Amino acid sequence: MTKEQANPLNERSSSIDPVCGMTVGADSDYVVEECHKRIFFCSSHCKDKYFAIAPKDIDPICGMRVPSSSPYTLEEDGRVLRFCSVDCRAVYQERRRK
Amino acid sequence: MTVASDRSIAYFSMEIALESSIPTYSGGLGVLAGDTIRAAADMKFPMVAVTLLHRKGYFSQTLDSVGTQHEAPTPWPVDEYLNLKEVSARVSVSLDGRTVALRAWQYDVKGATGHWVPVYLLDTGLDVNSEWDRRITDSLYGGDKHYRLCQEVVLGCGGIRLLRSLGYDRLGRFHMNEGHSSLLALELLDEEAGKAGRDCFTHEEVELVRKKCVFTTHTPVAAGHDQFPLDLVKQVTGRSDIFNMKEVFCCEGVLNMTYLALNLSHFVNGVAKKHGEISRLMFAKYPIDAITNGVHAATWVSSHLACLFDEFIAGWREDNFNLRYALKIPKERIEAAHAKAKGQLLEYLRLRGFAGFEEGILTIGFARRATGYKRADLLFQDIERLRKIVKDGGPIQIIFAGKAHPHDLAGKGLIRRIYAAKEELKDGLKVAYLQDYDIDMSRLLVSGVDVWLNTPMPPLEASGTSGMKAAMNGVPSLSVLDGWWIEGCIEGITGWAIGEVDGAPSESERSRRDALSLYDKLEKVVLPRFYCDREAFVDTMKHAIALNGSFFNTQRMLQQYALKAYLL
């Protein structure tokens, strides 16, 4: 199986609004794209709330949203990168070295 | 049901609490797994379960005079357990390029209606294996990442192979209780590819496996998810190509077991509504539902209260929803049954050298893993305030229990702080810290105290289940609003809330506010109700059973799994 053949998760016919937990169809008008995947919401209210309450930082390796209290950080070009774990940070550093 | 091929749901968990004398569990995750299987047996679910043998157990805890924890292995005599039988099947897995042979021991969990669920405990302790390999299934959460990954290969890949060799060939659902068993999905992918005579799997096979897998996540913190550096994974499994498939394995360079399970499950859930929300924000691209945990009623209700239920609530064991009829039980009978459970607990304390605990005194219980976020010392933030509350509002006695993970230095420090507070308060109120907490002690505590205290730092308690066990015994919770208590708390009716749901600017400020709220609630609500308004206090006890016991049980939980995850 190649990467292109794999089923992207947003092909599911329904999803769950990450804010309110409601089941929403994958045809919902309230959608945002994040790391090449689509996140579906039941309403503009939940869509707006998502950006207000979700942790701001995204681990650049695994894509997990991590809280600003995460101790696994790196400073790069004057900005702070946050990771979910020491492992993801190590992978990032390794890639940078290459 | 006796035929393996009739069973359709396989439940995998790194730990399962089968009984107190089999120390194959460390805490909530294992006890939940045990309760789930006990409920599945009651409900005649076609389930089979897989775990590791953990021959050396978790550990036994002793505490010295200042509360320093000392640990010792708890090897248990596997061969001497009559209800544990070795199965003849042998399978193997490849680890670090070696072939490691596995066997399994079968423990049948019997339900209230005679049905049973077989649990297979995997064991590498075979002579054909090297000495190191023989120890892979010895220690629960012991060892380094390499040891843990070897255990996870045994659990996930070895578990599937064992089930197949025993004839479980019609399994339609594979339930991963936390990410430790995620490699089972990889084994299922290999099976599908193997059937077609290929080495690598196709998009259709990924979909096929996804339809069969169910994943329950229990971790509300980013750093808590099990993951392994890819170099280590390649070394242990001898595979390298497939881990580049980001859609299945997520991240280049790291194998994150949570992502593996998220990518290969058709149904994913958190263990309480709030935990579902937290998980969805952490992994926004995945549809994560929530099924709030429960506890197994017949296991956790004290014998004294069980007799009362038998008299007033027909069929409460078979159908836990009936516990709502606890409201019909006369108050004096509830009070009398609880007094017996309390007497039993205080006798247990007396036999262990804790003198001076009295039946008429408000007894607060706090028993769970000793770790920082559970804040066992919140009650002792302001010793003088606590002393004053007791002096003005009435006496209190407090019983603690819980083990700290051997590497959790903060958790160990917490036990020492409770010992220090106990010493400081010795003229004002009695404090006991029971050592070597286990299921039997837990049963005595949740049924014998008057109020169950729970003070986690939100949102770190994914669910929590001890308060549910207390509720079933008519013991109301006094708890921070986190995990299940956000759903279970009806103020003054089923118990009492500490603090607010929404957070404070910092953890220290949150602790300060929560401690103040705890003192206020104790002083102004709980103590007056316990000592001066018995009618109202017993009414709270009854509502804890009727509203929370009837809902926060594994029967309801499994019905939701059936509806949302197993039958779809």
Exposed/middle/buried for A34, CB within 10 Å: 0-12, 13-18, 19+?
Answer: middle
Chain A: closest CA distance from residue B431 (Å): 35
Kindly indicate the confidence band of residue B238, based on its pLDDT and cuts at 50, 70 and 90: very high
> Under CATH, which architecture does the B4-294+557-566 domain have?
3-Layer(aba) Sandwich (3.40)
Flag whether residue A10 sits within 8 Å of chain B, measured between CB atoms. yes
Residue B413: phi, psi to the nearest 5?
A: -65, -35
Residue A9 reports pLDDT greater than 80: no
Q: Specify the pLDDT at position B3.
A: 80
Exposed/middle/buried for B106, CB within 10 Å: 0-12, 13-18, 19+?
Answer: middle
Flag whether residue B563 sits within 8 Å of chain A, measured between CB atoms. no
From the list A16, A38, A87, the residue facing B229 with the nearest CB is: A87
Kindly indicate the confidence band of residue B568, based on its pLDDT and cuts at 50, 70 and 90: low
Flag whether residue B505 sits within 8 Å of chain A, measured between CB atoms. no
> Could A37 and B280 be called an inter-chain contact, meaning their C-beta atoms sit closer than 8 Å?
no
> Average pLDDT in the B332-355 region?
97
The question of ipTM being above 0.85 is answered as no
Determine the CATH number of domain B299-552. Answer: 3.40.50.2000
**In chain B, what are the domain boundaries?**
4-294+557-566, 299-552
Q: Kindly state the helix (H) or strand (E) to which residue B363 belongs, with its residue range.
A: strand B362-367
Chain B: closest CA distance from residue A31 (Å): 11
From the list B244, B277, B285, the residue facing A9 with the nearest CB is: B285
pLDDT in tens, B536-566: 999 999 999 999 999 999 999 999 999 999 9
Best residue in B251, B262, B509 for a mutation probing chain A (most A CBs within 10 Å): B251
Residue A7 reports pLDDT greater than 50: no
pTM of the model: 0.94
Please state, in angstroms and rounded to a whole number, the distance separating the CA atoms of residues A9 and B276.
18
Locate the DSSP E strands across B218-287.
227-229, 254-256, 267-270
Contact in structure between B386 and B519 (CB atoms under 8 Å) = yes
> Could B222 and A14 be called an inter-chain contact, meaning their C-beta atoms sit closer than 8 Å?
no
Flag whether residue B250 sits within 8 Å of chain A, measured between CB atoms. yes
Residue B241 reports pLDDT greater than 80: no
Kindly indicate the confidence band of residue A5, based on its pLDDT and cuts at 50, 70 and 90: very low
Q: Specify the pLDDT at position B380.
A: 97
Residue B284 reports pLDDT greater than 90: no
Kindly indicate the confidence band of residue A11, based on its pLDDT and cuts at 50, 70 and 90: low
Q: Specify the pLDDT at position B249.
A: 81
B 285-304 residues inside an 8 A Cβ radius of A: 285-290
> Could B229 and A90 be called an inter-chain contact, meaning their C-beta atoms sit closer than 8 Å?
yes
Q: Specify the pLDDT at position B542.
A: 98
Chain B: closest CA distance from residue A43 (Å): 16
Q: How high does pLDDT run on average in chain B? A: 95
Flag whether residue A68 sits within 8 Å of chain B, measured between CB atoms. no
Q: Specify the pLDDT at position B521.
A: 97
> Average pLDDT in the B400-416 region?
96
Chain A: closest CA distance from residue B207 (Å): 8
Contact in structure between B562 and B497 (CB atoms under 8 Å) = no
Let me know if the fold of B4-294+557-566 is the same as that of B299-552. Answer: yes
Strand pairing of B116-123 and B173-177? unpaired
Q: Specify the pLDDT at position B534.
A: 96
Flag whether residue A94 sits within 8 Å of chain B, measured between CB atoms. yes
Chain B: closest CA distance from residue A77 (Å): 23
Residue B116 reports pLDDT greater than 90: yes
> Could B246 and A3 be called an inter-chain contact, meaning their C-beta atoms sit closer than 8 Å?
yes
Residue B497 reports pLDDT greater than 80: yes
CB pairs A-B closer than 8 Å: 119
pLDDT in tens, B169-195: 999 999 999 999 999 999 999 999 999
> Average pLDDT in the A34-40 region?
80
Contacts A35 to B, Cβ<8 Å: 285
> Could B250 and A63 be called an inter-chain contact, meaning their C-beta atoms sit closer than 8 Å?
yes
Kindly indicate the confidence band of residue B491, based on its pLDDT and cuts at 50, 70 and 90: very high
Percentage of residues in chain B having pLDDT higher than 90: 88
Kindly indicate the confidence band of residue B201, based on its pLDDT and cuts at 50, 70 and 90: confident
Chain B: closest CA distance from residue A17 (Å): 7
Q: Kindly state the helix (H) or strand (E) to which residue B443 belongs, with its residue range.
A: helix B439-448
B 227-246 residues inside an 8 A Cβ radius of A: 227-230, 244-246
